[in-house]
Amino acid sequence: MSKVTRFTAADPGPAARVAGFLAHLRAHGFHLGVAETETAMRALSCVHPITPKDARLALKSVCAGSGEQCTQFDLLFDAFWMADGRVRQKIMPAQHASPPQNTNTTRTDETQHSGAKGSLHAPEDGAEGQDSYAEGTGKLIASKAGNLMKKDLRELVSADEIRAAEQVAIRLGKALRDRRSRRQMAARKGRTIDLRRTMRRSMSTGGEPLRLVWRHRPDRPVKIVALCDVSGSMMHYARPFLAFLAGLMRADTASDAYLFHTRLVRITDALRDPDPLRALNRITLLADGFGGGSRIAGNLQRFADSYARKFVDGRSVVLILSDGYDTDAPGNMAGALQKLRRRGCRIIWLNPLKGWKDYAPIAQGMAAALPHLDDFAAAATLNDLAALEHRLARL
């Protein structure tokens, strides 16, 4: 284990260090408020005697909020407290908004500023942001790898398009939802009596429940899960599809989005970012390998094995946006889709090539997938997606 970080003599004390650590976590995407800082302090104070191991566990249980964050926490903890004896100058990273006291990062060298502050979320970006990032000591490892591809996505999608896509996404979502609610209406035979309200009403008629009050289950929205292929062959269509994903995420809080090329990446959280452009930047960081090869079957398989277990159920509609040119064996495709089907979801494959004249799904992967799809439709532009509305409603 690396040695413990040393602090400068001017250090204001342990409480400030813990607060600094919390700010360090916050800077890395943990949602922690002042209340958590207080809880963290109190948690530490109820551990006796305190060792680095206990402190780690204590802080982890307060700060981490999911399995993913637990892993991330360990790295961040090491970066902050176990920085190999390095001297930490600034305990408290100040907030971005206030320039006078802007020490901004917990890292030792001040050259980080440009990288951490402005450039990250700006639509047009100079080269300086990338350089300073590479020197970062504790900032996310993924950012170094992803930065190379930063430009691509931002050139692809503009804020206007996202807004337009949002409209489309909302309408599509509605189309799917309506269908769901119709179904519920038909099955609503077994409505139950609301005894509580019936009793209340009966008070006015002397305890005789003359007017019955009924209860029924509210309609529930479907969850849209979108898997977007961003391999080389799909580059032309990535633009509308990404905008669509971004719009979908912003319009519908229950939906979920993934990108895949040779790997599968969950981009839901990144796309939910309140600032649409920053959201795209975050995806860019995630989507290392954008425009590379495509392993559709492998990724679907991985999806079915991992995320689908958590997020896909009988109420989900899985949208696959891909051209079906796959480097994996076609046999795997059928297996993966079958597995996905078994979760009870509906699968819709949107293929940009299908809109072409004389298109036939002869790509082996596509042919293998066809029997397992609920619908197979063409979609190459945002307008196409909008046109899908009726079709989905009819499904």
Instruction: Give the interface with another protein as residue ranges (CB under 8 A).
Output: 31, 33, 35-36, 39, 42-43, 46-47, 54, 57-58, 60-62, 64-67, 70, 195-196, 198-199, 202-203, 206-207, 209, 217, 305, 309-311, 313
Nearer to another protein, 77 or 133 (CB): 77
Residues 6+ apart with CB under 8 A from 351: 322, 323, 324, 361, 366, 376, 377, 378, 379
Nearest distance, CB of residue 121 and another protein, angstroms: 21
Residues 6+ apart with CB under 8 A from 190: none
Cβ atoms of 357 and 218 within 8 Å: the answer is no
Instruction: Report how far residue 165's alpha carbon sits from residue 163's, in angstroms, rounded to the nearest whole number.
Output: 5
Nearer to another protein, 94 or 254 (CB): 254
Instruction: Report how far residue 251's alpha carbon sits from residue 246's, in angstroms, rounded to the nearest whole number.
Output: 9
Nearer to another protein, 209 or 291 (CB): 209
Nearest distance, CB of residue 240 and another protein, angstroms: 28
Nearest distance, CB of residue 258 and another protein, angstroms: 15
Q: Which two tokens stand for residue 25?
A: 């976590």
**What 3-state class would DSSP assign to 229?**
strand
Nearest distance, CB of residue 26 and another protein, angstroms: 13
**348-382 CB burial, b ≥16 within 10 A, e <16:** bbbbbbbeeeeeebebbbbebbeebbebbbbbbeb
Nearest distance, CB of residue 127 and another protein, angstroms: 36
Nearer to another protein, 4 or 50 (CB): 50
Nearer to another protein, 99 or 207 (CB): 207
Nearer to another protein, 31 or 236 (CB): 31
**How is 251-309 classified by DSSP, letter by letter?**
H-TT-EEEEESSSEEE-HHHHT-SSHHHHHHHHHHH-TTTTS---HHHHHHHHHHTHHH
Nearer to another protein, 248 or 379 (CB): 248
Picking from 40, 107, 38, 29, the residue whose alpha carbon sits closest to that of residue 68 is 29
Nearest distance, CB of residue 321 and another protein, angstroms: 23
Instruction: Cite the beta strand spans of 191-273 per DSSP E.
Output: 192-193, 214-215, 223-229, 256-260, 264-266
Cβ atoms of 104 and 112 within 8 Å: the answer is yes
Nearest distance, CB of residue 349 and another protein, angstroms: 24
Nearest distance, CB of residue 189 and another protein, angstroms: 17
Nearer to another protein, 127 or 187 (CB): 187
Cβ atoms of 103 and 93 within 8 Å: the answer is yes
